[in-house]
Amino acid sequence: MAMDRRSFVKAGGSAALGLAFGGCAPRFAAQGGAVLAPYIAPGQIPSVVYPVHISWERVIRTTVGLRPFRPSGFRLEAERFDEKTIVHNFGHGGTGWSLSWGTATLATEHAVDAAGDSEDRRAAVLGAGIVGLTSARLLQRRGFDVTVYAAALSPETTSNMSWAGFTPVSGLVRQRTPEWDAQFRRAVAISYREHQLLVARGYGVSWIDSYSPTNSAGSTGGGGNREADGAGDSPLMPEGAETGTIVLGPGRHPFSTKYCRVGVQMRYEPSIYLEAIMRDIIAFGGKFIVRKFDTPRDLMSLDESVIVNCTGLGSKALFGDSELMPIKGQLTVLVPQPEINYTMGSMIPRSDGIVLGHTQLPDDWSLEVNQEALIRTMENALRNFHPSIFRRTPRAAPPMRVVSAEPAWEMAKYAAASPPPVEHFFGLES
């Protein structure tokens, strides 16, 4: 019987993973619609995971970013303004990191068409967030001289305030068209490939395990990019752009729950990544000019006749895009723990801190920290990383661990918090 990749991942992808882990074929038992992996070779899925130290005293910052959301999805098309062609590439909502290289590729194709046979290969990019920077690099790859104009540069863009995982269908759109779906699928496939090529090359891109302890073998959520926001069953995801999830049965994982879903997550470190791409742009002859534009008229004074607009939420005022609205997101960052090498629920570890998120407050333009959301984030984390969630805890700190042992009063705080309901926190959003 022919089997496409999606069915393969669902029905037997875990078997493939098991082979890769163990070198011998484990036997799998289907239960509650999920696939159980009763045996994993020692050393492949860790038998212990290091706990994240959650406490108010370890909070080092809380950041706020406004996701550029459009109910009908990102806008990707060319528009003529007098002698200039403006290629729009904005409105990525909670998926700007995930789709960046993909929509930048599509925008670059429009720019190449607009330039036609002209010998003038200069292009302007508006915006220096992840969408503008990837667009600038791809224009350079297609032979353009690029100048990036932006009101703000890293570390002051929305892209710096991102949770930043590969979550291509997170809270994406409400009104899709077949044309938009086709653009989206191409964008995901391209982006997924480009990001993989950046792993371990100094861009802050890496793969980490994703754990979802659960008492129900059939529950969804967490554990790999295919689960993000229902992506596991989303017909929107193109073939080959998702990893699988396995369900480890009782006794086969280090959590006190019956099961643990295990997947992988691609993560980005915004402060490393954005500055690395800026250096690349400069290395290939690009320039950055800090400048804010108030109306399309302002753009007419630019020398470049091809302009790629990646101003994110700024396009609402600049181009009068009435659909754009902010979805406020807040992240709370704790002291880094270099030994944490997995993501769980809304926690993602980075070299600059343990990141807890991610709130979604629609139509809220305020850049102030929302105290209620902050308290909620911390309370959830205290519950979700309560010591009772770990069946086995490490006897000793790993060699690279740099944090000090937990003082007794912190443990007392843990004890005061109630043990976690395990099912509620694994709905990956970004």
Ligand X SMILES: Cc1cc2nc3c(=O)[nH]c(=O)nc-3n(C[C@H](O)[C@H](O)[C@H](O)COP(=O)(O)OP(=O)(O)OC[C@H]3O[C@@H](n4cnc5c(N)ncnc54)[C@H](O)[C@@H]3O)c2cc1C
Query: 348 — phi, psi (to 5°)?
Result: -135, 130
Sheet holding 287-290, edge to edge: 75-81, 84-90, 306-309, 122-126, 145-150, 287-290
Region binding ligand X by CB under 6 A among candidate stretches 117-125, 159-167, 172-180, 258-266: 159-167
312 binds ligand X (CB under 6 A): yes
Region binding ligand X by CB under 6 A among candidate stretches 9-17, 151-159, 372-380, 408-416: 151-159
Bridge partners, residue 206, by sequence: 267
Tell me the closest approach of the beta carbon of residue 188 to ligand X, in angstroms: 11
Is the peptide bond prior to 155 cis by the omega test (within 30 degrees of 0)? yes
Tell me the closest approach of the beta carbon of residue 282 to ligand X, in angstroms: 16
Tell me the closest approach of the beta carbon of residue 259 to ligand X, in angstroms: 25
**Which 246-305 positions form the footprint of ligand X (CB under 6 A)?**
292-293
Region binding ligand X by CB under 6 A among candidate stretches 4-12, 90-98, 388-396, 400-408: 90-98
Answer whether 167's CB lies under 8 Å from 225's CB: yes
Tell me the closest approach of the beta carbon of residue 88 to ligand X, in angstroms: 11
Identify the burial level of 122 via C-beta atoms within 10 angstroms of its C-beta, where 0-12 means exposed, 13-18 middle and 19 or more buried: middle
Single out the residue of 108, 222, 94 nearest to residue 169, CA to CA.
94
Q: What radius of gyration, in Å, describes the C-alpha atoms of the chain?
A: 23
Tell me the closest approach of the beta carbon of residue 79 to ligand X, in angstroms: 16
18 binds ligand X (CB under 6 A): no
From 10, 67, 70, 88, residue interacting with ligand X (rule: CB under 6 A): 67
Tell me the closest approach of the beta carbon of residue 429 to ligand X, in angstroms: 8
**Which 120-149 positions form the footprint of ligand X (CB under 6 A)?**
126-132, 149
Collapsing DSSP to helix, strand or coil, 222 comes out as: coil
If the CB atoms of residues 114 and 136 are measured against ligand X, the closer one turns out to be 136
- Provide DSSP, 31-43: ETTEEEE----TT
331 binds ligand X (CB under 6 A): yes
CA angle, 232 as apex, 74 and 326 as ends, to 5°?
30
From 151, 208, 236, 276, residue interacting with ligand X (rule: CB under 6 A): 151
If the CB atoms of residues 13 and 165 are measured against ligand X, the closer one turns out to be 165
Other C-beta atoms lying within 10 Å of the C-beta of residue 185:
18
Distance of alpha carbon 144 from alpha carbon 36, whole angstroms: 51
164 binds ligand X (CB under 6 A): yes
Both structure tokens of 119: 């010998």
Residue type present at position 381: A
Region binding ligand X by CB under 6 A among candidate stretches 19-27, 28-36, 158-166, 417-425: 158-166
For residues 345 to 364, the per-residue mask of contacts with ligand X, x marking binding by CB under 6 A and - elsewhere, is ------------xx------
Identify the burial level of 162 via C-beta atoms within 10 angstroms of its C-beta, where 0-12 means exposed, 13-18 middle and 19 or more buried: buried
Single out the residue of 263, 254, 256, 249 nearest to residue 218, CA to CA.
249
Region binding ligand X by CB under 6 A among candidate stretches 95-103, 179-187, 236-244, 394-402: 95-103
Answer whether 70's CB lies under 8 Å from 323's CB: yes
Binding site for ligand X (CB under 6 A): 65, 67-68, 90, 92-98, 126-132, 149-152, 157-159, 161-165, 167, 292-293, 310-314, 318, 329, 331, 357-358, 430
